[in-house]
Amino acid sequence: MKIPSPVMWARLKSPWVIHFNSGACNGCDIEVVALLTPKYDVERFGVKLEGSPRHADVLLATGCVTEQCAERLKRIYDQMPEPKFVVAIGTCACSGGVFAGNMNVVGGIDKVIPVNAYIPGCPVRPEAVLDGVVKLLNALKAPPKPVEPKPIEVKAVEAKPAAKEAAEIKPIEAKPNA
């Protein structure tokens, strides 16, 4: 989807994020909330925590996805306007973590919705979350450079006749055991 440049500029300079915990120990949630404290103050970078998915640009998802919340996560993702971005925060959100394999755990966030950035850790540091969101936004800022194939130089090699190759092979000499 092609976005007009003023809209993209606004989204990159002031991304509105929504936080969703899909079922975890709340360790990553505490670290995400710590971003809003004066120590880290993400609002100075233009990041605003939004309560409604209809106004959010980035979904910060923590915790492994359980069967109970998989439908809710999908519904929140569907309510977000295009273009929407998803950041999986923590080991549980990336792969299911220590809860993977339990009877009601579906797995990581990417089992239900597409994920744009993964931030592993248990729990992740607030600096890592901030760094991950900034890297995601910087990746969106720079369009991908087209890769031009390099021409391949083919050099002519003289072929040796098969009889000459056979003559060059020397048999292995057996050494007497001493």
Report the CATH number that the domain containing residue 108 is assigned in CATH: 3.40.50.12280
Helical packing angle, 27-34 and 126-141, nearest 10°: 70
- What average pLDDT does this structure show over 145-150? 60
For residue 124, the model assigns a pLDDT of: 85
Indicate the pLDDT class of residue 101, thresholds 50, 70 and 90.
confident
**Buried b vs exposed e over 32-63: b needs ≥16 C-beta within 10 Å?**
bebbbeeebebeebebebbeebeebbbbbbbb
Q: Answer whether 61's CB lies under 8 Å from 93's CB.
A: yes
For residue 84, the model assigns a pLDDT of: 84
Question: Which H/E stretch holds residue 77?
Answer: helix 67-79
Express as a percent the part of the chain with pLDDT over 70: 72
> Does 146 reside within a domain?
no
The beta strands (E) that lie in the chain are given as: 16-21, 48-49, 58-62, 65-66, 85-89, 105-107, 117-119
> Does 93 reside within a domain?
yes
> Does 127 reside within a domain?
yes
pLDDT tens-digit map of 150-172: 665 656 556 555 555 555 656 66
For residue 152, the model assigns a pLDDT of: 58
State the first-to-last Cα distance of the chain, in angstroms, to the nearest integer: 79
> Does 98 reside within a domain?
yes
For residue 130, the model assigns a pLDDT of: 83
Tally of structural domains, the chain: 1
> Does 171 reside within a domain?
no
> Does 153 reside within a domain?
no
Express as a percent the part of the chain with pLDDT over 90: 2
For residue 143, the model assigns a pLDDT of: 58
For residue 46, the model assigns a pLDDT of: 79
> Does 124 reside within a domain?
yes
> Does 156 reside within a domain?
no
For residue 136, the model assigns a pLDDT of: 80
Average pLDDT, the chain: 77
Q: Which range of residues forms the domain containing residue 17?
A: 5-141
Question: Which tokens belong to 26?
Answer: 């709340």
